[in-house]
Homo-oligomer: A and B are copies of this chain.
Amino acid sequence: MRSEIKPIYWRNNAIYVLDQRLLPYKIKYLRLKTAREVAKAIKDMAIRGAPAIGIAGAMGLALTAYHSRAKTVEQLLAELKRSYETLRNTRPTAVNLFWALERVMKIAETRCSVDELRRLILDEALKIMEEDLEANRKIGFNGSKLIDDGDGILTHCNAGALATAGYGTALGIIRAAFEEGKKITVYACETRPRLQGAKLTAWELMRDGIPVKLITDNMAAFLMQRGLINKVIVGADRILAKTGHVINKIGTLSHAIAAKYYNIPFLVAAPTSTVDFKSTPDEVVIEERDEKEVLYIDGKKIAPRGVRALNPAFDITPPDLVSYIITEKGIYRPEELRELSLTT
């Protein structure tokens, strides 16, 4: 295996994020020094993937704390609250962002000096990152039990090292199965409109020498019909514990329906930071992104003048289509997720 991909790290009072808009052609890190810059990087999808934007959000708060000139805890808290709002209002669907921001703001309530608080907040952000990497390795270990030697595995979008602190969720399972010597072939859906499958997943897997073939999203059902796919594994941006619904990149629902039709296990891999214990499906905001993402590909227009496009960034897969949800704490059926709330 080649050196691991680091999508985000902290160094010298700044955070560095691998600009995923330039992959696979260019490896360039953005140096971000303020929460506002982090918010922009999340919004513009320089950094993306539910766990990764959670980590970036937490680090955004750490930047605010670190560079603050506040003399009192109250002043620092006021600054943190402003950054919190800025970071919160970037992308509405993935729950990890809110989870990570809340977790850091909770630490900010600790009674201590301004300097101690700065340290505590940075420590918490770094801890969120470390825990995510650890969770992904456990997800990989847990999930690879479900993978058989010789499996053809369909995956959608990028739930890989790039979407997390490293190793990945869906790709974490694929990596673990591959490391255990299982002969697998991954079918990576290109994932229109932003092509994360073609640009990120294919790149990650090629880099690690894991056999991968690129397909357009609309080929998935046909490959299932032809018997090439034995498992579908995707990540998640939000999983609803109350109902078992899975919110993930647009196109996931389509694969889940086809997998059900062909009796192929549909697996969702995510850390428990992706689980939303409160919301019902109606309460989830599905981000509608700029229609230009559909009308243009890499800056080139692909549609006639004047035509309008829709661009929902996520969809909602109902629990009857989901076989298992694989977390760092174990494997659950969608209806069993409620139990998790007792242990977290």
Contact = CB atoms under 8 A, between A and B. Distances in A.
B302 A221 contact: no
A239 to B, nearest CB: 17
Interface stretch (A127-135, A170-178, A303-311, A335-343): A303-311
A308 B187 CA distance: 10
Contacts of A212: 307
A254 B251 CA distance: 11
A294 B215 contact: yes
Nearest to A254: B221
A22 interface: no
A304 to B, nearest CB: 4
B190 A310 contact: no
Contacts of A206: 304-307
Contact of A302 (B213, B218, B298): B298
B304 A203 contact: yes
Contact of A250 (B219, B298, B302): B219
B297 A222 contact: no
A256 to B, nearest CB: 8
Interface in A193-213: 193, 195, 198-199, 202-203, 206, 212-213
A295 interface: yes
Contacts of A219: 250-251, 310, 312, 315
A313 to B, nearest CB: 10
Contact of A294 (B193, B216, B302): B216
Tally of this chain's copies:
2
A79 to B, nearest CB: 39
A221 B253 CA distance: 7
A304 B202 contact: yes
Contacts of A298: 297, 300, 302
A315 B220 CA distance: 10
Interface in A220-276: 220-223, 225, 250-251, 253-254, 257-258, 260-261
B192 A216 contact: yes
Contacts of A24: 303-305
A225 B303 contact: no
B193 A225 contact: no
Nearest to A295: B214
Count class of interface residues, chain A:
35 or more
A155 interface: no
A257 B218 CA distance: 12
Contact of A216 (B217, B261, B308): B217
A223 B312 CA distance: 9
A162 to B, nearest CB: 13
A303 B216 contact: no
Contact of A198 (B191, B251, B303): B303
Interface in A296-332: 297-298, 300, 302-310, 312, 315-316
B221 A294 contact: no
A305 B187 CA distance: 16
A250 B212 CA distance: 20
A141 B218 CA distance: 30
Nearest to A316: B225
Interface of A: 24, 187, 189-193, 195, 198-199, 202-203, 206, 212-223, 225, 250-251, 253-254, 257-258, 260-261, 294-295, 297-298, 300, 302-310, 312, 315-316
